[in-house]
Amino acid sequence: MSATLIGNNVTVKINGAVSNSASATSGATTLYTAPASGYAIVNLFCTAFGASGTFTVGGRVVHSFSGVSTLPLVVYVGPSQVVQITSTGAANTGVISGVDFVNSP
């Protein structure tokens, strides 16, 4: 999927959809890595909770949780940044969805 939107003298190029689900047990698991030449705006959910955990973007904690998420966490993911879900024990499952964009002058 690829598209170009033009408005107010700005061009935004959509690279594709972001969609994944992964579980972390006593550590971190990668949900998504942004392209080096782009960025993404994504929603994050914890759909199965086992132990206290976090969502990180580029190595920084953007949200700590201690239960299943009922509302999405909307985050910006910069070029080459990695989105991960962590757990301090039993499995936590994270879901990511959104759109990644191509940097365009």
- For 47-56, the pLDDT digits (tens) are 999 999 999 9
Average pLDDT over residues 51-62: 96
pTM metric for this prediction = 0.86
Q: What domains appear along the chain, each with residue ranges and CATH number?
A: 19-96 (2.60.120)
| pLDDT tens per residue, range 79-92 | 999 999 999 999 99
Burial of 72 (0-12, 13-18, 19+ CB in 10 A): middle
Triad 80, 82, 88: Cα angle to 5° = 165
| pLDDT tens per residue, range 20-31 | 999 999 999 999
**Is pLDDT above 80 for 1?**
no
